[in-house]
Amino acid sequence: MSAVTRPRRLLLARPRGYCAGVERAVETVEQMLVLHGPPIYVRKQIVHNIHVVRRLEQQGAIFVESEDDVPEGATVVLSAHGVAPEVHRNAALRRLRAIDATCPLVTKVHNEAKRFAGQGLTIFLIGHAGHEEVVGTMGEAPDAIVLVQTVEDVALLPEPESEQLAYLTQTTLSVDETTGIIAALQARFPTIVGPPKDDICYATTNRQAAVKSLAREVDLVLVIGSANSSNSQRLVDVTRDLGVSAHLIDDESQILDTWLDGVETVGITSGASAPEWLVERVVDWFRERGVEEVAEHHLIEENVHFALPRGVREAQGTAT
């Protein structure tokens, strides 16, 4: 990288990184490893970050695709994204000790799905097909839920049999894009009702607001997060929607010098499943290349904490 094109300044978005649900899920696995020793099985990635998964693997966690891959009678932690009821049933049949690390804000959406379905409503779930959170939510009421991914999907929906309709959303979507889809649903189906409180979680909303504010001050935004992290991808999307260049990176090794041509100020943020030590590595990468000015771009203060799952707290009580 030539001296002419070298960035001079870093701005770090705040808030960024771990949300309360991710922190709770990762700590759940760590605590079970301490209390019971390895191996502790984890169904799917506990959170969508490859570095977090690898670090837990080094501590003795074994990640599996299905509860069927866990030896009978063993302990399995269920990921932060939530699971369908059939997973709990199957785990019980296999005599697994299931520790449910589902984010409480995802559990809220599951409960809303059960409530709306119990009232006989058809539910339009706004989300991304195949995402683990969507799979889990649809599993709560598979006969009542229709997936909607885009505004264009709304026009293609078949006419429902009744006007008893509701919508729910995945917790990690683009706030702006979701607002458009909800507006389209309300325009087509005037009787549709929504949840008492928005389903998009506080962390997703706050990180998108923070990166929008950050983007006004920088030439380039680097979003630290893995490709399968929905909320990280959305941070890239909302930045690009503002006309600012943005790239998703797992870590500093993926930064390309060509991205930095003509860039004076680089904004850095991280998705809700990316730990702060990855941010520190990226900052160090720039420091090694002569960047001296590093500042925080502070928008919102977060103070959210979730208690560990009951199974972990019970195990802690037994250990003491």
Cβ-Cβ contacts under 8 Å for 131 (sequence gap 6 or more): 81, 170, 230
Residue type, 68: D
Burial class of 280 by CB neighbour count within 10 A (0 to 12, 13 to 18, 19+) = exposed
Task: Give the strand order in the sheet containing 220-224.
Answer: 245-249, 220-224, 265-270, 9-14, 293-298
SS3 assignment, position 224: strand
The Cα–Cα gap between 159 and 122 comes to 11
Of 67, 112, 132, 133, the catalytic one is: 133
Catalytic site residue 161? no
Can you tell me the distance from the alpha carbon of 276 to that of 56, in angstroms, rounded to the nearest whole number?
A: 16
Sign of the CA dihedral running 245, 250, 255, 256: negative
Instruction: Tell me which residues are annotated as active site.
Output: 133
